Amino acid sequence: MRVIDDRTWAVLTVYGEARGQSARGKQAVANVIRNRMARRYASDGTVVGTVLRAAQFSCWTPGDPNLLVLARVDAEEFTYRACERAWDAAATEDLTGGAVAYLNVALTLRLRAAAGKGATLPAWAADPRDPGRVNAALVTLVEDDHHFLRI
């Protein structure tokens, strides 16, 4: 018996990653989860095996402040319900054009600089000519704070 069902894991992940984003931004994160499952990109094809894969969705990273937020979320809260709607909408409409990754460029640059990695993006997202910029050829959608990428 599962204590938490697949839909709840997915919705919690959308909540943890995009609760402050627009409805489209939430759905785009849900699309990435579904695209990863379909392509088995950093995924075993299941919801849990996708969202809990190490170092993939930061809200599940040990020490991330979102973990405590997720542990206390109220399923009746308006924003949680919006994340449920986003997950459901992602089943029939892919706003991302098949993206399997996303990142907040400004936040990523700031965190990497603070960690001593320089103001560069991860190699999978960086422009080969300028590692401080996202590779525009990979971007399928920019919504709110996130760039969505097909890699």
Q: Which of 87, 105, 108 is nearest to 16 (CA)?
A: 87
Within the chain, which residues score under 50 in pLDDT? 1
User: What's residue 2's pLDDT?
Assistant: 61
At residue 59, the pLDDT reads 95
pLDDT at 119: 82
The pLDDT assigned to 118 comes to 81
Q: What is the pLDDT of residue 3?
A: 84
Q: What is the pLDDT of residue 111?
A: 86
pTM: 0.93
